[in-house]
Amino acid sequence: ETGVTQSPTHLIKTRGQQVTLRCSSQSGHNTVSWYQQALGQGPQFIFQYYREEENGRGNFPPRFSGLQFPNYSSELNVNALELDDSALYLCASSATGDATNEKLFFGSGTQLSVL
Amino acid sequence: AQRVTQPEKLLSVFKGAPVELKCNYSYSGSPELFWYVQYSRQRLQLLLRHISRESIKGFTADLNKGETSFHLKKPFAQEEDSAMYYCAVYGGSQGNLIFGKGTKLSVKP
């Protein structure tokens, strides 16, 4: 069983640039959620994708967008990067997307630094 | 607004001592609560969830709706319990878990 994998592990960008982060879900999982974890904080929900459609969104501006592909892998895109976007970005997959009943399986994250 | 509060950033106990990690929540409706754990150099993983009423690695957590709490307890701490612990509540939309800021548990020999 393959776990959740994220790439890249680290990334440095400058303010105003755009970034794409990638996530491969665990085998058999069709739902991917993205979380932002700032230093010293808990993870904060960005959005979730289920069967290639956005299925829930947290309090993040439209410059945070995503995609899910037919193989259930996913991308997180952030446009017009700001210094406050510096954080660990976590991807989590689950079998049905129902957080009340399903375990979320997290990846190791992508550490984004915006200079 | 839904919110999870973990009042202790750091909790340090000796091996064999009881441990209680505090979690208070703010949620309208019937909450679903979780504890996630992150051991050193490992990824965030589910420890236990209220809905399952389970005990994992000797840890239990009881939902107290009157006090809006979901404290994590273990009667005898082990050194391998040292980790970062996050309490989370289901936020009401698909996939939306609201996490607290976490408590770092350090179990000393």
3-state helix/strand/coil string of chain B: CCEEECCCCEEEEECCCCEEECCEEECCCCCCEEEEEECCCCCCEEEEEHHHCCCECCEEECCECCCCECCEEECCCCHHHCEEEEEEEECCCCCCEEECCCEEEEEEC
Phi, psi at A84, each rounded to 5°: -70, -10
Nearest to B84 by CA among B95, B72, B68, B96: B72
Can you give the pLDDT at residue B95?
A: 66
Q: Please state the rounded mean pLDDT for residues B47-70.
A: 88
Q: Between chains, do B95 and A101 touch, taking CB under 8 Å as contact?
A: no
* Residue A91, SS3 per DSSP: strand
pLDDT at res. B4:
95
Instruction: Please compute the mean of the pLDDT values over residues A48-59 and round it to a whole number.
Output: 90
Residue A55: list chain B partners with CB under 8 A: 94-95
How far apart are the CA of A59 and the nearest CA of chain B, in angstroms?
11
Q: For chains A and B, what is the number of CB pairs under 8 angstroms?
A: 64
> B88 in contact with A at a CB cutoff of 8 Å?
yes
Instruction: Using the predicted structure, report yes or no on whether residue A102 has a pLDDT greater than 80.
Output: no
How many angstroms separate the first and last alpha carbons of chain B? 41
Inform me whether the C-beta atom of residue B96 falls under 8 Å from chain A C-beta atoms.
yes
The band of B94, judged by pLDDT with boundaries at 50, 70 and 90, is: low
The pLDDT score that the predictor gives to residue A98 is 62
Residue of A48, A101, A106 lying closest to B44 (CB–CB): A106
DSSP letter assigned to residue A79: -
Look at residue B101 in the predicted model and tell me its pLDDT. Answer: 97
**Mean pLDDT of the A86-112 span:** 85
Query: Considering only alpha carbons, which residue of chain A is nearest residue B85?
Result: A42
For residues A108, B86, B3, B13, the Cα torsion angle rounded to the nearest 10 degrees is: -150
Q: A106 — contact with chain B (CB < 8 Å)? A: yes
CB-based contact (8 Å) between A44 and chain B?
Answer: yes
Residue B90 has pLDDT above 90, yes or no: no
Q: Is A99 helix (H, G, I), strand (E, B) or coil?
A: coil
Q: Tell whether the model's pLDDT for residue B73 goes beyond 90.
A: yes
Q: Would you say residue A100 has pLDDT above 90?
A: no
- Taking residue A75's Cβ as centre, other Cβ atoms within 10 Å add up to 17
Span A21-35, pLDDT tens digits: 999 998 888 889 999
Q: Which of B64, B87, B93 is nearest to B11 (CA)?
A: B87
Q: What is the residue-averaged pLDDT of chain A? A: 92
**Helix (H, G, I), strand (E, B), or coil: what is residue A85?**
helix
> Is 80 exceeded by the pLDDT of residue A97?
no
Predicted confidence band of residue B85 (pLDDT cuts 50, 70, 90)? very high
Q: Are A55 and A97 in contact (CB under 8 A)?
A: yes
A83 DSSP 8-state letter: G
Residues B37, A42, B47: CA angle, nearest 5 degrees: 20
Check if B47 contacts A (Cβ < 8 Å).
Answer: no
**Cis check: omega of the bond before A8, within 30 degrees of 0:** yes
